[in-house]
């Protein structure tokens, strides 16, 4: 059966106390909306509509950055969830099968839960969860066996109804044709003057249609609407990601201090040291080692490579097998060949380094002229002396060598030695005189 998605992402989220739309606040390096979209994508939906409102342009941009094929509907006035769905339905005019309504601030729904919703035979199916210990102010699902009779909002519930432990998550699956009819018939005759999507349950029953509920663990239904909730969501994501990594054969020497991004991939038998932070877009292949206190974003680390401690790999950094990036090294938009060694205190940006080249401590690729970035190319088995400044664009051939402290501004042929530093001059006895002069200048400035 064909499945389409409507993801509601129009709210401002005033309790976040933020100028940023609520659904754009990030968990594990990705907006909450992206997490919701990823969850829904497990169903391989035929069409996905994002309903925007507050910060519509920014929300639409984030959605399309993640999936350019999504459709965008605008809810220019926030008149309730039913009204939001009504804005999306015209974009699904050709849709058949079922529609699942999700929320852009609910990041943790699991594929198996969404599959249960999609497979339900009822005309309307609501996702619920049980809370036995601390019943929150959610609507209660009133069941008669497997039939969902109605949803009672907390504020309208009696004491007996509030004692019911089956809560409404807000997520609904419905036959698309039925949803069109039920949403069109919604009323805003209530204290808030809003159109509630939950009212379609009673409307369906009144028409003799079937309604039911499926359940999932409460943690899956967590909606984020405060900074505290955002922190809780981050903790939940990281706990899951760490457990999954360990289960998949990754060694985490201090799991609680490692932070994953929403799309981090780490291969079996990789070793991740303490206090490693992964930004989006990072892949670590099997057998690689990431030492303590590294920050990795948008990079690819091949088998047998080692990184750190205290290294920074930025977007476009790619390490081939057995490459080594060491202490206080930063790599950006650069490819390091097999067996390359960059041990200490070095910056390589917009560079290509050939197999088995050694880059000495304090080397810098001077890649930016204030307007444009330029590329440095270093051949295989070259030796870059410590404190070499490589002023791009520049190319060094295979087996080339630079003298320590050199400033390299011209191409270096294969096998050549390049020394580009000023001649050393010694002035006997000048140091004490110079210091006395500088002290006198300082004393005059302090008097003034």
* Residue 331 CB neighbour total at 10 angstroms: 28
Question: Contact 119/113 with Cβ under 8 angstroms?
Answer: no
Burial class (CB in 10 A: 0-12, 13-18, 19+), 338: middle
The single-letter DSSP state of residue 259 is B
Q: Of these residues, 66, 265, 344, 356, which one is catalytic? A: 344
Long-range own/partner contacts, residues 392-400 (CB < 8 A, 24 or more apart): 392/350, 392/351, 392/365, 392/366, 392/367, 398/354
Block residue for tokens 């051949």: 379
Element counts in the chain: helices (H) and strands (E): 9, 37
Beta pairing, strands 383-384 & 401-402: parallel
Question: Contact 37/66 with Cβ under 8 angstroms?
Answer: yes
Strand partners, 174: 99, 124
CA 22 to chain centre: 15
Question: Contact 38/76 with Cβ under 8 angstroms?
Answer: no
54 is catalytic: no
Task: For Cα atoms 370, 376, 378, give the angle at the middle one, nearest 5 degrees.
Answer: 165
CA dist 170 and 84 (Å) reads 13
Neighbour-count burial for 2-36, b at 16+ CB within 10 Å, e otherwise: ebbbbbbbbbebeebeeeebbbbbbbbbbbbbbbb
Neighbour-count burial for 400-420, b at 16+ CB within 10 Å, e otherwise: bbbbeebbbeeebeeeeebeb
Q: Residues 30, 32, 33, 34: is their CA dihedral positive or negative?
A: positive
CA dist 306 and 101 (Å) reads 45
CA dist 63 and 67 (Å) reads 6
What string of DSSP letters covers 105-126? T-----HHHHHHHHH--SSEEE
Residues labelled as active-site residues: 344
């Amino acid at each position: 059966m064909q499945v389409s998605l409507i993801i509601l992402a129009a709210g401002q989220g005033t309790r976040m106390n933020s100028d940023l739309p609520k659904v754009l606040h990030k968990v594990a390096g990705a907006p909450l909306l992206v997490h919701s979209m990823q969850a829904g994508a497990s169903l391989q939906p035929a069409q996905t509509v994002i309903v925007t409102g507050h910060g519509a342009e920014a929300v639409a941009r984030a959605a399309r950055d993640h999936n350019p094929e999504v459709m965008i509907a605008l809810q220019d006035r926030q008149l309730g969830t039913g009204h939001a769905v009504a804005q999306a339905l015209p974009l699904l005019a050709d849709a058949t099968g079922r529609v699942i309504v999700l929320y852009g601030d609910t990041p943790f729904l699991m594929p198996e839960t969404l599959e249960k919703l999609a497979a339900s035979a009822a005309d309307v199916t609501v996702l619920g969860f049980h809370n036995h210990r601390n019943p929150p102010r959610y609507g209660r699902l009133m069941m008669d066996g497997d039939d969902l009779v109605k949803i009672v909002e907390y504020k309208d519930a009696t004491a007996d109804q509030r004692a019911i432990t089956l809560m409404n998550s807000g997520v609904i699956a419905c036959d698309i044709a039925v949803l069109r009819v039920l949403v069109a018939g919604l009323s805003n005759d209530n204290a808030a003057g809003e159109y509630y999507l939950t009212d379609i349950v009673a409307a369906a029953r009144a028409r003799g249609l079937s309604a039911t509920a499926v359940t999932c663990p409460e943690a899956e239904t967590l909606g984020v609407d405060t900074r505290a909730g955002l922190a809780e969501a981050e903790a939940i994501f990281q706990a899951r990601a760490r457990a999954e990594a360990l289960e998949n054969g990754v060694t985490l020497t201090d799991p609680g201090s490692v932070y994953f991004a929403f799309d981090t991939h780490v291969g079996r038998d990789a070793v991740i040291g303490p206090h490693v932070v992964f930004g989006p877009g990072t892949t670590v292949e099997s057998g690689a080692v990431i030492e303590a206190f590294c920050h990795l974003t948008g990079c690819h680390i091949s088998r047998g490579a080692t990184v750190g401690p205290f290294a920074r790999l930025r977007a476009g950094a790619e390490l081939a097998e057995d490459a080594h990036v060491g202490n206080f090294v930063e790599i950006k938009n650069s490819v390091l060949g097999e067996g390359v060694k960059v041990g200490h205190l070095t910056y390589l940006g917009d560079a290509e380094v050939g197999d088995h080249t050694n880059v000495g401590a304090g080397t810098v690729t001077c890649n930016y002229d204030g307007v444009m970035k330029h590329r440095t190319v270093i051949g295989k088995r070259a030796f870059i002396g410590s404190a070499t400044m490589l002023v791009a664009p520049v190319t060094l051939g295979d087996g080339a060598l630079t003298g320590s402290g050199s400033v390299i501004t011209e191409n270096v042929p294969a096998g050549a030695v390049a020394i580009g530093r000023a001649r050393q001059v010694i002035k006997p006895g000048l140091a004490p005189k110079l210091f006395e002069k500088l002290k006198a200048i300082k004393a005059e400035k302090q008097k003034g």
